[in-house]
A and B are shown apart, each in its own frame.
Chain A
Amino acid sequence: MIEFKLPSLGADMDEGKLLEWKVKPGDRVKRGDLVAVVETPKAAVDVEIWQDGVVHELVTQPGTTIPVGTVMARLLGLGETAPAAAPPPAAAPAPVAAPAAAPSRHPVSPAARKHARELGVDVESLPGSGPHGAVTVEDVEKAAKGRKPAPEAAPAPAPATAPAPAAAPAADKTLAMRKAIAAAMSRSKREIPHYYLSQTIPMQRAMDWLTAYNAKRPVTERLLMGALQLKAVALALKDFPDFNGFWMDNAFQPAQGIHIGVAISLRQGGLIAPAIHDVAELALDELMKALADLVRRARAGSLRSSEMSDPTITVTNLGDQGVDEVFAIIYPPQVAIVGFGRVAPRPWAEDGMIGAVPAVVASLAADHRVSDGHRGARFLAAIAARLQEPETL
């Protein structure tokens, strides 16, 4: 019997509220399938399962708030049979049950999800009119009132199961997010002895390369400088693994992959830093697509659990807001965060001449328990060197 427990989706989460199950007893699931939607202080997250099996029993009821580590469901491993004492699965397993993962579904904002539950609308069947086809509160209201009945998308009847669990109202969500950020950042400043370094990096080569790259491509295939910066950090981390991992149990634990958490500000306030997996292995165009997709889903409230739990380092870019330099706070249990300011013309001396070149200040905040300034300086220099050879990114 496999126990499926509520995973931790970040240092600022110690409990979560089950909003809905995406599976039912008898369903076959495979590694990576989405099985549940859980509300955390920062977002409603699609939770993935990490084993193959058949759902045997759903332990947690939707609407319940449970601590991290609580057994939410039990599964039978492949080939395993149900123990005699346990009741058999309620219904014969549907041989062609719909896959648990529904990658094509529209993103749904947490507020819309909540509203849909209150009104008994099946949010998954609604066409979305929000950003990127996201289902909005308005869509839900329209569907509920039948004001604009789409031909085949009549409001579905309320689920026959139990009282609909309600996600928190928007104001509460903002408050919950602030509390989560407060908890994680206070812990970081209390526990992590940060040291800070910065380096001004000339960006003429990277800018020229990017301009030439983008000039040949339609707007749908263009890269942002942020993608080059992420790749440069990822490649530098290959030689500096002591900045990629976690401080846990009084020791540094290096991470297996390079999964960069990208700090994304949300329009309603607050921020979230979900991971792009294996950044060093992605080609720039793939990385750009992954970045655009991650930002879109973060803002639509449709992230996956592995993206929340896997970041091994964070990169934050505040250049668009015009800042010169970022003095960032490490997101525990990570041990480093890299910040980028804006790329802007700055005086630059070369061969005894001063000229104006586009440059960016890259900064590093790192955990002094794990690394020292000397290593940090070399890590920043490695990032700078990578950005001088944009064609190798």
Chain B
Amino acid sequence: MDAEEIRKVVLAELKRIAPELEEVQPAKPLRDQVDLDSMDWLNFLVALHERLKVEIPEADYRKLGTLEQVVAYLSAKAR
């Protein structure tokens, strides 16, 4: 799966959690933009884990600040 497909999956999962979501600024902090609380965040990661079959250790959460970073991280892992 290439980065563009991963990006689509990430956005689709974000939209499931936040149906009102319209646009995501790729380089801005994700959780503030989408108003994700800890439970939303966990659900988001669970969904990505299940769809992309990647493990996301809690220690890596800090690498997942923006949409760009999430896509880059998952692309590297899914390879």
Question: What sequence of 0s and 1s flags, for each residue 33-77 of chain B, a beta carbon within 8 Å of any chain A beta carbon?
Answer: 001011100110110011000011111000000000000000000
Known: A211-B58, A215-B59. A224 touches B39 (CB 8 A): yes
Chain A positions within 8 Å of B39 at CB level: 224, 226, 291-292, 295
In this complex, the interface size class of chain A, counting residues with CB under 8 Å from chain B, is: 20 to 34
Cross-chain contact of B42 among A211, A222, A265, A321 (Cβ < 8 A) = A222
Q: How large is the interface on B (under 10, 10 to 19, 20 to 34, 35 or more residues)?
A: 20 to 34
Q: Does B18 contact A (CB under 8 A)?
A: yes
* Chain B residues closer than 8 Å to A131, beta-carbon distance: 16-17, 19
Verify B59–A224 contact, CB threshold 8 A: no
Among B18, B50, B55, the residue within 8 A (CB) of A267 is B18
Q: Which of B18, B37, B45, B57 has the most C-beta atoms of chain A within 10 angstroms of its own C-beta?
A: B37
B28 CB to nearest A CB, Å: 16
Distance A265 CA – B35 CA, assembled complex (angstroms): 11
Q: Is A218 within 8 A of B58, CB to CB?
A: no
A130 to B16, CA, bound (A): 6
Main secondary structure of the interface of A (DSSP, over half): helix
- Let me know if B58 and A222 touch, CB within 8 A: yes
Contact, CB under 8 Å: A224 / B58? no
Q: Convert B1-40 into 0s and 1s, putting 1 for each residue whose CB lies closer than 8 angstroms to a CB of A.
A: 0000000000000001111100000000000000101110
Q: Is A214 an interface residue (CB 8 A)?
A: yes
Which chain B residues lie closer than 8 Å to A214 at the CB level? 58
The complex places the Cα of A268 from the Cα of B45 at a distance, in Å, of 23
The minimal Cβ–Cβ distance linking A148 to chain B, given in whole angstroms, is 17
- Roughly how many angstroms separate A321 CA and B56 CA in the complex, as a whole number? 24
Residues of B within 8 A of A220 (CB): 46, 49-50
Residues of chain B within 8 A (CB-CB) of A321 are 37
Q: How close is A76's CB to chain B, nearest CB, in angstroms?
A: 43
Q: Say yes or no: is A219 at the interface (Cβ < 8 Å to chain B).
A: yes
**Among B18, B19, B45, contact of A219 (Cβ-Cβ < 8 Å):** B45
Interface string of A18-46 (1 = CB under 8 A from B): 00000000000000000000000000000
1/0 contact string of A344-373 vs chain B (CB within 8 Å) = 000000000000000000000000000000
Inter-subunit contact B42/A226 (CB<8 Å): no
**Cβ–Cβ < 8 Å partners of A296 in chain B:** 43
Q: Are A215 and B43 in contact (CB under 8 A)?
A: no
Known: A131-B16, A224-B42. 16 other contacts (CB 8 A): A130-B16, A131-B17, A131-B19, A215-B58, A219-B45, A219-B46, A220-B49, A222-B58, A224-B38, A226-B39, A267-B18, A292-B42, A292-B43, A296-B43, A320-B38, A321-B37
> Can you sample 25 A-B contacts with CB below 8 Å?
A131-B16, A131-B19, A211-B58, A215-B57, A215-B58, A215-B59, A218-B49, A219-B45, A219-B49, A219-B55, A224-B39, A225-B38, A226-B38, A226-B39, A265-B37, A267-B18, A267-B20, A267-B35, A291-B39, A292-B39, A292-B42, A292-B43, A295-B39, A320-B38, A321-B37
B residues near A, CB below 8 A?
16-20, 35, 37-39, 42-43, 45-46, 49-50, 55-59
